[in-house]
Structure 1
Amino acid sequence: MMRAAAIGSLLVALSATAGVAERNLTPTRDNPPDVCPDQPPEPQWIQDIDVRGSHKRLLIQQIYRAQSMQRIVEAQSCECPTRYPSWEAAEGVFVEQFAASEYWDIVEATSEYRRQANELRREAIPICEAAGNW
């Protein structure tokens, strides 16, 4: 009987500790960036996309990322405005090409932009490391 009470008390204590630890790990959108602290914020309408539309948000983010890597490689420069310009170009691509697309078309496009960004990233890393912006 005492063993059951001790185990029950232990479980209560552990679950309370886990709840506190979980609250301390809650991510925020206000984390300052490690490089280029004046990065333009993601437009509010993108942040406000509901969970069911999160695939659209991922696509816009990958478009922005691919465009960023492309600019770095083309300019052979990793200055902050080159690496983190406004979101207008990415928004334009999304609105013109994907705003009315179906779910699987967006998932496919997201994979393509991610692949493109990852390929360009290999060339962009040394450029950005030399500029101290990686």
Structure 2
Amino acid sequence: MRKLSVLLFFLLIANLSFAQFGVSVHQSNLPFVGFNYEIADRFLPELRLGVDTYLDNMSVEAVATYQFIDKEKVEVYAGLGGRANNTAGLVAPIGAHFFPFPTKNFGFHIELAPIFSDDSPIVRGSWGIRYRFKQKD
């Protein structure tokens, strides 16, 4: 129920504002896929689901990031969020998106995200690809 509520929350926000849908795949020791809406060019709420694991151990993460550097070929962001199930706790992602092609539909990203849990904190580094389904006019 909690996972469904988070998903519905993000879908509602996206319908109420001018947004652009995107997906990302992050490769790391805790790999995940992300579904996001870019709102007002710089705000990026994202729902992340752990992959490469059993469904009982799948982690759900909800983060909101802000792109404080938004250039033609590079975006740098930082944010805050929460993580449930496996390694539950607070997440503070910091990363960059790189767009080597003329449009910003397809790109690459790197991210460093400390995860503050009840156990010892973890620093997760990840890299991967990102795709935006609709380019803004």
TM-score (norm 2): 0.27
Give the helix-richer structure, 1 or 2.
1
